[in-house]
Structure 1
Amino acid sequence: MLRSLPPLPSWSAALIAAVIGFGGTVALVVQAIRTLGGDVTQTASAVTALCLGIALAGALLSWRLRMPVVLAWSTPGAALLAASAPGMAWPVAVGAFAVAGALTVVLGLLPALGRLAERIPASVVSAMLAGVLLPFCLGLFRAAGVDPLLVAAIVAVFLIARLRAPLYALLLVLVTGIVLTLVRGDMAALPHGPLFGTLSPVMPALDLRAMISLALPLFLVTLVSQNLPGLVVLRSAGYAPRPAPLLIGTGIASVAVAPFGGHAVNLAAITAAICTSQDAHPDARRRWTVGLIYAGFYLVLAAFAPALVRLFLALPPAAIAALTGAALIPALIGSIETMLGVPEERDAAIVTFLAAGSGLALWGLGSAFWGLVAGFFALGTKAVLRRR
C-alpha cells in the first residue's frame, strides 16, 4: 500500500507550487476584482471559484493525459483587469471573462486557429502586457511617499530573495508586507463577509465594448504569457502534450468559473516546472500523480479563500500597492525581454508599450486594446512599405 503512494518529494513539490502560485499574486487578483466592482462576497467567490477550477480541471487533465498538468489563474490577466477603467458593471465584467474562456475553447477546437495563434507576434502582445504592468510596478515606489519603511523592506527582501531563493521571492515579499503591517498595527478591521469557501453566481451580461477592450486582450495575454509557456514547460520535461485537450480543458474551466467571478484558468509555467521535474517524482510515467496532489492542495485553499480575501482587504492601500508592484516585477522583466527580442519588431513593440501604458480610453475601449491596435498597425504599415 505504501509503495503505491507518491513519494514525499511529490507532496512537498505540489505544496510549494500551490503556496507560491496562490500567495504570490492573490493580492493582485483581489485588487482586480475590486476594481471591476466586485464587493467582498463577490471577491471571495471569485477566488474560491478560481481555486476550484484550478483543482478540478487540473486533476481531470492530469488523470486523463497521464502527465502533471499544473494550472493557475492568469496573473497577467489579473493585472490587465486591475488596470481597466473602474465603474464597469460586475455582470458585464463576468460576461467578458466567459467570452475570453470561450475563445480559448474555440482555439483548441479549430487547429487552423491554433496555427494562426502561433503566428501572433509575441513581441506585440508582450509589449501590451508590459505597458499594463508598468503602472503597477511604478506604484511600488509611489507607495514610498506614504509608507517608506514598508516599501524599503519589501524592495530589500525582494532583491535578496531573487539572489538567494528566487523561487520563494514573491512569497517572502508577501509575508514581509503582512507581518510588518501587523506588527505596526496598521491592519484595519476585517470587513464583514464569509469565512469559508463561498460561491456567489451572477448572470453574465454580454457587452460588445467589454468583449473588445477586456475579453480579447485577456484571451491574448493568457494565451501568450501563460498557456504557450505552460506547453513549453511540459515539453521540456519530456512530455508530448497535444495543445487541443489542454486549451479546451482550461477554456471550459474558465467559462465554468466566470459566473462566480473567476477571470481565467490556464496552464502554469513557473510553478509547473516544480511539479514536472525529476525531483518531484523519479518516474516520469507516475509523475502525473503530482498534478493530483497539487489539485488537492488547491481544494484546501478554496475552502479558506474567503478568509484570506478578507485579510488582504484589511491591508492599507499603500501595502496593497507595494505588494502588487513587487509581485509583478518578474512578469514585467519577462515581457520586456520578449517584446525586444526581435529587432525588426522593436518599433511596433515600443509603440504598443507606450499606448498600453498611457491609460488611453476612447469610446469605452481601454488602453490595452489601443496598444494592440497601435502595434498591429505599425507591423502592417512596415510590411506594406517593404513590399513596395
Structure 2
Amino acid sequence: MSSRASLQDWSFSAVIAGFVAVLVGYTSSAAIVFQAAASAGASGEQIGGWFSMLGLGMGVTSIGLSLYYRTPVVTAWSTPGAALLVTSLPGTSINDAIGVFVFASGLIFLCGVSGLFARLMHYIPQALSAAMLGGILLRFGLEAFTSLQSNLLLAASMCLVYLLARRFFSRFAVILALCAGLVIAAWQGSIAFHGQSLHFAAPALIMPHFSWATLVGIGVPFFVVTMASQNAPGIATLHASGYRLPVSPLIAVTALLALLLAPFGVFSVCIAAITAAICMGEDVHPDPGKRYTAAVAAGGFYLLAGLMGGSIGTLFTALPAALIHTIAGLALLGTFSGSLYRALSEEKQRDAAVITFLITASGVQLFGVGSAFWGLIGGVITHCILGIPGQTSAQDKGTKR
C-alpha cells in the first residue's frame, strides 16, 4: 500500500479512538499492575521502569502488527494475569517473579509457534465468540449509566451530547462526548494532577531466578489465566468484528517480545479485547479496512505513556472515574450492539450464545480463571449437546435433494 493511500486512511476520529483506548486501558487496570509489581517487592522507581517497558512493548506491537496486517490489532498487558499476581506474589522475591514472567511468556510463545491455540480457536463458532465479547463489554456499558449516580451532571451531559452527535455528526459522537466531559470536569474542578511532574523512569535489568515451587504454583496458573482470559477474548474480539487474521503469528510475536522484555518487568504482552473493540467501531471509520489507523494511533499513545512511565499513575488518574466509565461505555456501544446481533442472528446457535453471554457477564471466577473462558466453555458444551447446526442443516439439504 502506498504512503499516500496510508495517509488517506487517517482521520481525527481514529486518533481519538486510539487515545480513548489507551486511556481506558491504563485507568481501568494500572492500579492492579501497580499492586502486582509491589507484591513482587519492586521499588517505586522499578515500578516506573516496568510501566516504561510495558508502554514500549505494547506500542511497538500495536503499531507493527496493525500496519503489517492493515487491521486494528491492539495489544495490552494481561489484566486478569496481573490480578492473579497480586494475590500470588507476596512472599516471592523479585527475581523469582521475573522468572515467572519469562516462564509464562515462553509457554505462550510455544503455543503460538506450534499452532495449538489457533486450532482451538478455529473450532469455536463465531456466534459464541461474539457472545463472549458481548459479555465482556456489558460491564462497561452498565458503568456508563451507573456513573449517573456518582456524577449526574457530567455523565448525563456526555450521554446527551453523544446522542445529539449521533443524530447529526455520527462520526464525531465519541469525540464530542469526550470534549463535553473534559469541559464539565474542568468546570467542576475534578481534574487534578496533585502537583506532580511527569518524568521518565529508566528500566532496570533484573535477572530471573527459577524454582519449581514458583513456576508450578504461580507460573502455570498465570499462563492459563493469560491465555484463557486475555488472549482468547482478544482473538475473539478480532473474529467477532470480522477480522479473520492468522492467530499463531499474533500470539507468537506478542509472546516473543514479552519474553525478551520480561527481565525489565514486562509480565505480559497480549492481544487486547476491550481496548481493541474501541478501535473497531463504525465511529472510527465507515470502512472497516481503514480502522487499523486507530490501533496505530493507540500504539503511538502507548509509546508516549512509556516515556512517562515514572508518572503514569498521575497522568491517567487525573480524570474523574465517572468520565472514564462514561466515555468507555459510549465508545463501546456500537461494538456491543454489533456483537449481540452477531451472537443471536443464527437461531440454532441462540441457546449456546446466550449461555456464553450470561456466564461471561456474570464475572464468575473458577480455579483462578476468569469468566470469559468459562463462558466460552459453557457455550461450546451447549453447542455440542444441542448439536452442531452447520452439519445438521447440510445433511438435511442433501436429503431433500
TM-score with structure 1 setting the length: 0.69
Which of the numbers 13, 30, 36 marks the counterpart of 2:10?
13
Q: CA offsets, 1:336-376, max 9 Å, x none?
A: 12321322111111112222222333444443333233222
SS of residue paired to 1:88: helix
1:260 maps onto 2:266 in alignment: yes
Aligned residues: 363
TM-aligned CA distance change 1:270 to 1:111, over 3 Å: same
Q: CA offsets, 1:20-63, max 9 Å, x none?
A: 21334522432123246357878866664454234434665689
Q: CA offsets, 1:110-168, max 9 Å, x none?
A: 35753442221232233233223212221221121121111111212322344444444
Letter aligned with residue 125 of structure 1: S
1:173 maps onto 2:177 in alignment: yes
Q: CA offsets, 1:292-345, max 9 Å, x none?
A: 999667544542466565233133333333333333323322321232132211
Letter aligned with residue 87 of structure 2: M
Give the distance between the partners of 1:319 and 1:214, measured in 2 at CA.
28
1:354 maps onto 2:358 in alignment: yes
Shift of 1:256: 4.8
Which of the numbers 216, 220, 238 marks the counterpart of 1:226?
238
Give the distance between the partners of 2:376 and 2:339, measured in 1 at CA.
14
- Deviation larger for 28-37 or 38-47: 38-47
- 2:28 maps to which residue? 31
Give the distance between the partners of 1:196 and 1:377, measured in 2 at CA.
49
- 1:284 maps to which residue? none
Letter aligned with residue 20 of structure 1: A
Shift of 1:217: 2.4
- 2:398 maps to which residue? none
SS of residue paired to 1:360: coil
Shift of 1:173: 3.2
Tell me if structure 2 keeps the 8 A contact 1:135–1:357: yes
TM-aligned CA distance change 1:360 to 1:249, over 3 Å: closer
- 1:283 maps to which residue? none
Shift of 1:90: 6.5
Q: Give aligned-pair identity as a percent.
A: 25
Give the distance between the partners of 2:177 and 2:49, measured in 1 at CA.
25
Tell me if structure 1 keeps the 8 A contact 2:66–2:74: no
Larger radius of gyration: 2
Shift of 1:97: 8.3
Tell me if structure 2 keeps the 8 A contact 1:48–1:305: yes
For structure 2, the 5+ residue unaligned runs are: 39-43, 209-213, 393-401
Shift of 1:219: 1.6
Map 1:276-355 → 2, pairs under 5 A: 299-300=303-304, 302-304=306-308, 309-355=313-359
1:378 maps onto 2:382 in alignment: yes
TM-score with structure 2 setting the length: 0.68
Give the distance between the partners of 2:360 and 2:346, measured in 1 at CA.
19
- 1:120 maps to which residue? 124
Letter aligned with residue 180 of structure 2: T
For structure 1, the 5+ residue unaligned runs are: 233-240, 281-286
Shift of 1:220: 0.9
Please report the RMSD computed on the Cα atoms of aligned residues, expressed in angstroms. 5.0
